[in-house]
Structure 1
Amino acid sequence: MFFEKYQLELITTGFLLLFLLVVRFILITLVTKISRKNGINLARIHLMNRYISVALFLLAMLIIPFIFGSQFKDLAVVFSSIFAVIGIGLFAIWSILSNITSGIIMFFSFPYKVGDKIQIHDKDFPIEGIIEDIRAFQLHLRLDDGDLVTYPNNLMLQKAVTLIEKDAIEDEFDDGTDLI
């Protein structure tokens, strides 16, 4: 009975999901090709691909109720309540969101790569190290003394950074020995 009553809506939902899967495939392929061409770390590529998947999933969850006949005014109350709760929760964790947003910005426009030796000009705590990893929330820097420092992405966009040595990690192994 349910399937007969909502047959058209279910078919439309199926086409929407199929369309979004094709769009996801195209976007992920495009981001991966552009990222590899620009020498972006594989972990960062996977992170951006996850962001694309989540955004398309949320878009599907927004469109599907309209396919089944919901009116905007009906959903406005639900969404405003959800956004109010999320807004209060997000205000409490604004630092995490700031780091995620900075991570996305750094993915597209960060001039340094894994292996580069950089200096962060922080007035209180200047840091100099080799970029070991760039993650969603923070950058991992290996200091000259071997210590690992995690530096928040949002601070990376706020502080002046100097490139000291490009691909410093590769230079350590230029003696002819293989890593494998």
Structure 2
Amino acid sequence: MKDLLLTYQSELFRTLLTFLILGITRFISIKAIRKVGRISDINEIRTRLIVKYVVVGHSMLFLAALLLIWGVSIKDLGLILSSVLAVIGVALFASWSILSNVTAGVILFFSFPFKIGDRIRVWDKELEYHDEFIIEDIRAFHVHLRKPDGELVTYPNNLLLQKAISLLGPLDEDTEGSEAV
């Protein structure tokens, strides 16, 4: 056991250092995301979704660092990665809209000026209904918009970044009562 530790002392130290650095940056990133979510009054479910993305990203970085630290042959790794990336590339090309909606969901988390419960108008010529919507839920792939007549419309996140949207204000309890009468 002593010989093993002496032989791989440098790799073990680098692994421990990488683990500590990525652990600290992961902790700081998660704290920052939760603080942004709390300050911006963003739904807790959306905040947890972004935290999951950060955890997956840090895990992938850690795995890549371990491969480099422990001296995996770049040629062997290149062959494996090119094969895996070719398969993933075909899959992502086939589901490009899913990837763009997830990316838009992350962007909307940090810069979306609307919250759940706000009234908005979406200026989309393909959308036949141009009155107001109430934002009911914001998810990873899409937003649930509720028409005043109660119909639920699912709208993709990537279109929210592409289309003009008017903020009509938050939904007030007085407005709900007057519409019901």
1:134 aligns to what?
138
Q: Structure 1: which 5+ runs fail to align?
A: 176-180
Partner SS, residue 162 of structure 2: coil
How many residues get paired?
A: 172
TM superposition score normalised by structure 2: 0.84
Q: Encode CA deviations 1:37-74: one digit per residue, 9 max, x unaligned.
A: 12222222111111111110111111111111123333
Alignment match of 1:55 (pick from 57, 68, 73): 57
State how far apart, in whole Å, the 1-side matches of 2:77 and 2:111 are: 37
Partner SS, residue 66 of structure 1: helix
Give runs of aligned pairs for residues 1-180 of structure 1, distance below 5 A: 4=5, 6=8, 8-125=10-127, 126-127=129-130, 128-164=132-168, 166-168=169-171, 171-172=172-173
Q: Encode CA deviations 1:76-112: one digit per residue, 9 max, x unaligned.
A: 2221111111101110110100100111111121111
Displacement of 1:158 in angstroms is 1.5
State the superposition RMSD in angstroms: 2.2
Q: Structure 2: which 5+ runs fail to align?
A: 177-181
Question: What fraction of aligned residue pairs are identical, expressed as a percent?
Answer: 49
State how far apart, in whole Å, the 2-side matches of 1:10 and 1:113 are: 47
Change (3 A) 1:92 1:173: same
TM superposition score normalised by structure 1: 0.85
